[in-house]
């Protein structure tokens, strides 16, 4: 019987997944995984059932064991960003929310009419407001005006004050006098060349944990975990990518890494390019028109294999999806549309016929291809005198030198090696002008443990990195 002393849960809205590990003599060993329905009204029961199932599969849970957890069950905090320039605010908000457990629902800029800003806040009722605006030493008026807009809207959100440092005390005073909770963090964009997102991201993550405590059925989650932390699941995946790419204090990373995470509701793309850390401020260029941050994540909320299956068909077209599996014709197109409509209403459904399985494969290929091209940069085809761009210029995030592409998600965990390879090769087959990896090595997270590796990397970085390299067959 296998010994297990590390349990890493991933509590989702529908399923709770559990991965069991043994940590002994500074060596991490994977033992087994299981999953079962999330018991929202009683997280302890869900935990107990998953542990019981693990023991039934031949694992002995040590009397002294540690528990860690990620969660996507809360769905992410509802966030609105207020700033000065719309493009800059959107970019900063996306970066901040990347692994903090927040969903950016609206971007409001100084260009929007005050009445409109008030209306948006009242309609969305955000959990978090990211208040940005002005470089240090620059504009102060916009961030102060937006603080007054928040007061006028009378929302109950927590405001993360992340604008011009000279204006922050005045903004905090306005909010405090009107009983609006706020947290001050260093300016998101201290200069026009850099984003400083980590402090704001950490502040939002703390709010994410507080929300979990108060969310229905999740208040027991923090009592169960050993480190009193719950990491948003996408954030844990990104932490795993960063561990592999950057390495640790004692061990060198493997270099540029791309992770494709295909789920039932979204398709997430994570890329970590450690070499970008060495660029000077001038080489990075203006924040607004580049993607030269080391870690970057995009989330396609309309590209999922179940809840958002119809979004894939809308993005590519029925015939475009069918072309991925060399099928055509109105009859197949009608069946595909009927199938995706059914999936949207029955997200727990598991394909039961050969044709449905082929449809799943075609949907996965389509979702990955679209998500990749939205994540990656491209080769410019036209002149843009204003931006100094000529045809042939690489624009955006350049992924061409990435060696390792890691695929995560149920479609990869539950498919044969041949099917996995087919999906990935097809998705990368026609890059067009997109700056996609030129000669990638495809790796699949067969046991779906990337979330666990990201979580464990925060407690045992050296041990987890050594295991991850071996697990993904990245040995030197």
Do 274 and 394 share a domain, yes or no? yes
- 133 domain-assigned: yes
Residues 13-25 pLDDT 10s: 677 899 999 999 9
On whether both 67 and 169 belong to a single domain, the answer is: no
- The answer as to whether 243 is a domain residue is no
In a domain, 22, yes or no: yes
* Residues 17 and 84 grouped into a single domain: no
In this prediction, residue 192 has a pLDDT band, given cuts at 50, 70 and 90, of confident
Q: What average pLDDT does the segment 128-150 reach?
A: 91
Separation of alpha carbons 381 and 392, rounded Å: 6
Could you write out the DSSP letters of every residue in 313-354? HHHH-HHHHHHTTT--SHHHHHHHHHHHHHHHH-TT----SH
In a domain, 97, yes or no: yes
In a domain, 44, yes or no: yes
Domain that holds residue 354: 257-454
Torsions phi, psi for 328 (to 5 deg)? -155, 175
Q: Are residues 31 and 179 in the same domain?
A: no
- Lowest-confidence pick of 28-37, 240-249, 386-395, 399-408: 386-395
**pLDDT for 285:** 61
One domain for residues 19 and 158: no
Read off the pLDDT of residues 202-224 as tens digits, 9 standing for 90 and up: 899 888 888 776 665 567 778 88
* Same-domain status, 327 and 414: yes
Q: Is residue 469 part of a domain?
A: no
pLDDT attached to residue 366:
98
Tens digit of pLDDT for each residue in 389-437?
Answer: 667 677 788 999 999 999 999 999 999 999 999 999 999 999 999 999 9
- Determine, yes or no, domain membership for 64: yes
pLDDT at 286: 57
Count of the separate structural domains present in the chain: 3
CATH of the domain at 96: 3.40.50.360
Contact 454/468 with Cβ under 8 angstroms?
A: no
Averaged over 229-239, what is the pLDDT? 89
59 and 107 housed in the same domain: no
| 321 lies in the same domain as 439 | yes
Question: Angle 437-443-445 (CA atoms, 0-180°, nearest 5)?
Answer: 130
Nearest C-alpha neighbor of 4 from the set 57, 71, 69:
57
Shared-domain flag, residues 298 and 421: yes
351 assigned to some structural domain: yes
Query: Could you tell me if 69 and 82 lie in one domain?
Result: no
List the CATH number of the domain containing 34: 3.30.420.40
- Angle at alpha carbon of residue 76, lines to 70 and 80, rounded to 5°: 145
262 shares a domain with 224: no
């Amino acid at each position: 019987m296998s010994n297990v002393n590390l349990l890493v849960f991933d509590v989702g809205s529908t399923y709770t997944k559990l991965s069991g590990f043994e940590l002994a003599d500074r060596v991490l060993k994977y033992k087994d995984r299981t999953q079962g329905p999330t018991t929202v009204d009683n997280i302890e029961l869900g935990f107990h059932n998953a542990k019981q199932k693990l023991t039934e599969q031949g694992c002995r849970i040590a009397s002294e064991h540690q528990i860690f957890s990620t969660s996507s069950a809360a769905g992410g905090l509802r966030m609105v960003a207020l700033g000065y320039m719309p493009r800059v605010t959107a970019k900063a908000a996306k970066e901040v929310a990347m692994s903090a457990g927040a969903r950016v629902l609206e971007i409001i800029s100084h260009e929007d009419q005050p009445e409109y800003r008030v209306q948006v806040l009242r309609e969305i009722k955000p959990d978090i407001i990211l208040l940005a605006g002005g470089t240090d030493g620059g504009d102060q008026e916009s961030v102060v005006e937006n603080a007054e807009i928040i007061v006028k809207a009378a929302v109950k959100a927590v405001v993360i004050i992340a604008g011009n440092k000279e204006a922050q005390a005045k903004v905090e005073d306005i909010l405090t006098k009107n009983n609006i909770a706020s947290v001050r963090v260093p300016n998101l964009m201290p200069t026009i060349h850099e984003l400083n997102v980590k402090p704001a991201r950490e502040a939002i993550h703390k709010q994410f944990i507080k929300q979990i405590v108060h969310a229905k059925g999740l208040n027991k989650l923090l009592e169960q975990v050993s480190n009193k932390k719950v990491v948003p699941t996408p954030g844990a995946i990104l932490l795993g990518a960063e561990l592999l790419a950057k390495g640790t204090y004692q061990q060198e990373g493997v270099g540029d890494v791309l992770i494709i995470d295909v789920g039932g509701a979204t398709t997430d793309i994570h890329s970590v390019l450690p070499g970008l850390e060495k660029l000077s401020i001038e080489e990075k260029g203006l924040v607004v028109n580049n993607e030269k941050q080391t870690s970057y994540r995009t989330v396609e909320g309309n590209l999922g294999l179940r809840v958002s299956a119809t979004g894939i068909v809308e993005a590519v077209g029925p015939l475009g999806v069918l072309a991925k599996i060399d099928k055509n014709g109105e009859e197949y197109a009608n069946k595909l549309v009927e199938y995706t409509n059914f999936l949207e209403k029955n997200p727990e459904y598991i394909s039961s016929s050969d044709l449905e399985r082929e449809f799943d494969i075609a949907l996965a290929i389509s979702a990955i291809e679209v998500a990749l091209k939205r994540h990656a940069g491209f080769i410019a085809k036209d002149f843009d005198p204003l931006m100094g761009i000529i045809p042939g210029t690489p624009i955006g995030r350049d992924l061409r030198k990435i060696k390792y592409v890691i695929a995560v998600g149920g479609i990869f965990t539950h498919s044969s090696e041949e099917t996995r390879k087919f999906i990935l090769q097809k998705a990368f087959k026609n890059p067009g002008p997109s700056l996609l990896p030129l000669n990638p090595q495809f790796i699949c997270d067969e046991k779906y443990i990337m979330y666990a590796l990201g979580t464990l990397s925060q407690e045992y970085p050296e041990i987890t990195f050594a295991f991850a390299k071996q697990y993904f067959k990245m040995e030197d």
